[in-house]
Amino acid sequence: MNQASQSKSLLTHFISIFSLFVVGITTISVIFPALIISNFGIHSSDLEIFEIGNNASMIFVCNIILIGFGIAYYKNKLPSKIQSLLFTLLHKQISKKTTIIVLLVILLPYVILSTPELFLDEASQAPDYEIFLAAKEIFPFGKTTFTEATEQNDRYVRMILLIASLEIFQNVKIIPFLGSIALLLTTFFFTKEITKNRLAGIISVLVLIQSYTFLKFDTFAMYENFWVLFYVFSLYLIFKKFPFSSMSYALSILTKAFTAIFLPLSIVFVFYSNLKSKTKLLILVTYGVMFGIIVTIWTLDASVYDNILRFDLSQLLVALTKTSYQIRFDLLFLVSILPLTLGLIIKARNNSHIASSVLFLITGSIFAGAIVEMLSYHFVILPYRFVPTIVFFAVGVGILFNHNKEENQ
């Protein structure tokens, strides 16, 4: 085993342990919601630590069924007809024409059913809309003592896109909705690229489009998906046009600074890729230059991010427990995140590096929110910030259903 293989093996072990920790905290918090926050939260004296959560029974039963089914399939213990059917499905390759038809069948009803939401009043849906309007009045270089408006104007790309939607279409929701549609398509192309399997891409789109969290915020202007779109697209560009990957990542950060914490996820993704060492180095250099430019912009603009920092380690575990609450309506995620994690770990142990990197994207994006709460008193974990987690979860499901040996990692 050469040095590169040893490094990947060690990293795979670390990601497996880290992911089990993050997913374990999330799952425990579904079963015993007060167990962790009773020791680290602000309501410790008022909580029954072993009180069973509302979804505990469902989560427990579904996990037993899914894990048992997975083990039975892996050990070839299923009835022969079911085993054969699954084998055929998992190894199936579909044509480009069929893929286009299937995507249209999925996307057209989604667009038609979501369009009425574009005519809902953003101001009544999202209190942050008033903050946006205040920020719009002084964008891009105006000054104000209104901290929230200043923070909005530090998201340069987001403000440009929202103002463009308002000015061009007289509707602030139009371009954000187009961004959500683009995110669905990017999820397909990203999954297809790393698996070399169109069926895996379609599965990932189906998993994403059924998500309550995605559907809840897909037409919201104040909780738009631009930042997620640009970040996922930056990962896709690593394989297609790598010099532009850092540019797309920069657009994501300048839309929502939260994705700056995703840098380790991108580095690990590059490390696991099958790109040449020189290309990997060039990508990392461009990322470094990009981060340097963004920090310089924030410094010159006296960014609000300099004034909202703290360090509170106890908030790390508390924030992780919030995951199960904030996405409590995403039942598919809650019932299958542990089985998916175990499945991806098994694939990773069987030398599927793509499984390791995507697993780290899933659990790392959850952990990133906890880091934000640990380091800032201004930002808290909200449901829309889990959209990238849902995207990577969808990609992970696609990978689990992919048995194509020509993966891009």
Beta bridge partners of 376: 309
Angle at which helix 387-400 crosses helix 174-195, to 10 degrees, equals: 30
Give the CA radius of gyration of the chain.
22
364-385 pLDDT, tens digit per residue, is 999 998 888 887 766 677 889 9
Angle CA 326–331–337, to nearest 5: 85
How would DSSP label each residue in 25-46?
A: HHHHHHHSTTTTHHHHSS-GGG
Rounded-to-integer distance, Cα 305 and Cα 166, Å = 27
pLDDT average, residue stretch 63-80: 87
Q: Which amino acid is at 257?
A: A
Cα distances from 196 to residues 147, 277, 406, in angstroms, run 46, 22, 6
What are residue 124's phi and psi, to 5 degrees? -80, -25
Residue 34 reports pLDDT greater than 80? no
pTM of the model: 0.92
Query: Strand pairing partners for 309?
Result: 376
Q: Is the pLDDT of residue 41 over 60?
A: no
279/293 Cα distance (integer angstroms): 21
Q: Is the per-residue pLDDT at 90 higher than 80?
A: no
- Tell me the per-residue pLDDT of 180-235, one tens digit each, with 9 for 90 and over: 999 999 999 999 999 999 999 999 999 999 999 999 999 999 999 999 999 999 99
Predicted pLDDT at 128: 86
C-alpha 115/C-alpha 120 separation (Å) is: 10
Phi, psi of 290 (to 5 degrees): -60, -45
What pLDDT score was predicted for residue 185?
98
Domain definitions of the chain by residue range: 3-400
pLDDT average, residue stretch 21-30: 90
Flag whether pLDDT at 167 surpasses 60: yes
Burial class (CB within 10 angstroms; exposed 0-12, middle 13-18, buried 19+) of 58: middle
The pLDDT of residue 70 is above 90: no
Q: Which conformational region is residue 73 in: left (phi greater than 0), alpha (psi within -120 to 50 degrees), or beta?
A: alpha
- pLDDT in the model for residue 150: 73
